[in-house]
């Protein structure tokens, strides 16, 4: 086989690759999408009081891709629940598009959820097992006021959403979500978001149950979604390498507080907070040596 023959394949290549988007753009001039001042959540279990999120301030702008990085127990999930309106903050205020958020009644909550949607860690438990893929996508169209659209138009919209995530809708009709692989399911979740077009997407560890090679595809799709729709994406993760790669800005969370935030290059390469320094040094790398000699095995014993 000649090298030219192999080389020829490169020209026709339709390989998926991650776009670089707007990662160095200054988002502070963009309108505010979601912001919080002194947001706190306290849990009481018996006599024990746990401050899961402790007076955090944040400003998420339109079209920005934000990563919230922290280890287990740092308060990431509690914060994301508060952002989604599934938990009320004990203290502090969350503003949605510059206005104080009001989710006091069911109707107001539903209205709020038109503006914010989520993708969760476990794609296998994100779907109703009794609903076929068609009805999953049809629900999204109906929710966005497309209930009275002609059938053909709905089909076209579903096809478009699926092709956005490199799935073929014609092959998915009449199938159940569990017939897909984890990566495909997660992509279908993104297709849902594409149809719903919320202002904010909260992605809670969307790639942690997916393998390294499908991970790139999911990241690519999130970036594409942000680029095409101007959606704000809040990415919650424990993977620092991933956060470094994808985000416009990073928030590092420890014990319910943001210990450091800013542009990924600044936070990851020149960390200032001791916690960020430790976190970065504990991650295995490939160009720098991973120093195991400093590990104290009796720590936390």
Which residues of this protein are in contact with other proteins, per CB under 8 A? 1, 3, 5-7, 9-10, 13, 15-18, 23, 71-72, 166, 181-184, 211-217, 219-220, 238-245, 264-265, 268-269, 278-280, 282-288, 290, 292, 295, 297-301
Residue 226, classified by CB atoms within 10 Å of its CB into exposed (0-12), middle (13-18) or buried (19+), is: buried
**Exposed/middle/buried for residue 149 (C-beta within 10 Å: 0-12, 13-18, 19+):** middle
CB of 250 to other proteins, least distance (A): 10
Alpha helices, DSSP H, located in 58-130: 76-84, 106-115
* Identity of the residue, 19 or 135, whose beta carbon is nearer to other proteins in the bound complex: 19
Report the residue number, 27 or 96, with the smaller CB distance to other proteins.
27
Question: Given the complex with other proteins, which of 46 and 150 has the nearer CB atom?
Answer: 46
Q: Least Å distance between CB 221 and other proteins? A: 10
Q: Least distance to other proteins from the beta carbon of 69, Å?
A: 10
What is the token pair recorded at 143? 């929710």
Least distance from other proteins to the Cβ atom of residue 213, Å: 5
Residue 61, both tokens? 């702008």
Task: Yes or no: say if 119 and 193 are a contact pair by the CB < 8 Å rule.
Answer: yes
Q: CA–CA separation, 25 vs 3, rounded Å?
A: 41
Nearer to other proteins, 11 or 107 (CB): 11
Q: For residues 45 and 300, which CB has a smaller minimum distance to other proteins in the complex?
A: 300
Chain-centre distance for alpha carbon 203: 2
To other proteins, the closest distance from the beta carbon of 64 in angstroms equals: 17
């Amino acid at each position: 086989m000649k090298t030219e023959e192999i080389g020829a394949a490169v020209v026709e290549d339709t390989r998926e690759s991650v776009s670089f988007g707007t990662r160095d753009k200054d988002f502070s001039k963009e309108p505010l999408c979601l912001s919080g001042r002194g947001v706190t959540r306290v849990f009481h279990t018996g006599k024990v009081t746990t401050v899961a999120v402790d007076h955090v301030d944040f400003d998420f702008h339109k079209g920005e891709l934000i990563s919230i990085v922290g280890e287990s127990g740092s308060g990431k999930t509690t914060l994301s629940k508060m952002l989604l309106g599934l938990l009320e903050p004990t203290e502090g205020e969350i503003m949605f598009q510059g206005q104080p958020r009001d989710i006091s009644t069911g109707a107001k909550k539903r209205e709020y959820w038109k503006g914010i949607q989520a993708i969760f860690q476990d794609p296998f438990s994100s779907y109703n097992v009794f609903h076929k893929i068609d009805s999953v996508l049809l629900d999204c169209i109906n929710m966005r006021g497309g209930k009275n659209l002609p059938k053909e138009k709905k089909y076209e919209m579903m096809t478009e959403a699926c092709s956005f995530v490199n799935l073929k809708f014609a092959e998915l009709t009449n199938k159940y979500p569990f017939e897909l692989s984890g990566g495909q399911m997660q992509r279908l979740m993104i297709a849902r978001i594409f149809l719903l077009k919320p202002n904010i997407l909260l992605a809670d560890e969307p790639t942690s149950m997916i393998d390294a090679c499908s991970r790139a595809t999911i990241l690519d799709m999130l970036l594409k979604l942000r680029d095409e729709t101007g959606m704000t994406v809040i990415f919650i993760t424990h993977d620092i390498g991933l956060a470094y790669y994808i985000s416009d800005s990073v928030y590092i969370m420890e014990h319910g507080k943001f210990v450091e935030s800013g542009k990924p290059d600044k936070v990851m390469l020149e960390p200032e907070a001791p916690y960020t320094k430790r976190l970065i040094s504990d991650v295995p790398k490939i160009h720098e040596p991973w120093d195991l000699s400093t590990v104290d095995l009796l720590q936390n014993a």
